[in-house]
Amino acid sequence: MASLDPRLATTPLILIVPDIDGSGPGHWQTIWESQHSDVRRVEMGGSPTPDRLDWVSRLAAAIDAADQPVVLAAHGLGCHAVAWWAALERPAFGSKIAGALLVAPPNLDAGIADHRMAGFGPVPKGMLPFHLAVVAGQDDPSCGYYHAQLLARFWGGECVDAGRSGHLGADSDLGAWQEGWALMAKVAAPLRLDGGRREGAFDHAVTRTAAVGVNVVPFAR
């Protein structure tokens, strides 16, 4: 797989934050990890009933152990682990986290589809102190697209429409998900040698494809 962005001043560590049931061999997170030396998974313990503070502690330890800037690539419940980590750890703007790609965050505020996730709700609604994008499918059974837009707005990022791609996991058959990898380069923009201009960072981020269509919906900070 190609490097994230040749314009980056330094190569970030990409930390994979998996969903509640992990990510199997066909999942884009696993494929990224196998194809790139700077992608590392945060092990969440594999408990059938995940504990919010345990997940936050595991994520915090992985971030603290990194000796380079970090970009987070979270899926499903992993997105809420990132939000809770930011709420509890209160990192400053410009800290070690350069950006985050938050893919298919489930709705934990109403009608939780999976009771195992209940301990993570209601989710923090404050702005996250790093560059981010929320990617959501129009037909994700765990979260309506409108709610994903609200989460992006609360967290201070963009919401990227992935079309009818379900929960954007292994069942969505995304393979190496090159569109997602391109978005990772966008969220890592603050590390660019040219300053990674914030304005329009996601304009034309990814060309629409049959598998994943992208329609950027920016929200004002």
Please state which of the ranges 21-25, 46-50, 214-218 shows the lowest mean pLDDT. 214-218
In a domain, 6, yes or no: no
In a domain, 76, yes or no: yes
Q: Is 7 within 8 Å of 63 (Cβ atoms)?
A: no
Q: Which two tokens stand for residue 218?
A: 């920016």
In a domain, 153, yes or no: yes
In a domain, 198, yes or no: yes
In a domain, 181, yes or no: yes
The pTM assigned to this predicted structure is: 0.83
Q: What is the pLDDT of residues 118-175, one digit of tens each?
A: 899 999 999 999 999 999 988 888 888 999 999 999 999 999 988 887 677 667 767 7
Angle, to 10 degrees, between the axis of helix 52-65 and the axis of helix 77-89?
70
Query: Looking at the predicted structure, is the pLDDT value of residue 221 above 50?
Result: no
Please state which of the ranges 8-12, 23-27, 69-73, 192-196 shows the lowest mean pLDDT. 192-196
Q: Which CATH number characterizes residue 62's domain?
A: 3.40.50.1820
How many independent structural domains does the chain possess?
A: 1
CA dist 103 → 6, 92, 137, 208 (Å) = 24, 23, 9, 17
Instruction: Report how far Cα 188 is from the mean position of its chain's Cα atoms.
Output: 12
Q: What is the pLDDT of residues 147-157, one digit of tens each?
A: 999 999 999 99
Q: How far apart are CA 145 and CA 41, in angstroms?
A: 27
In a domain, 27, yes or no: yes
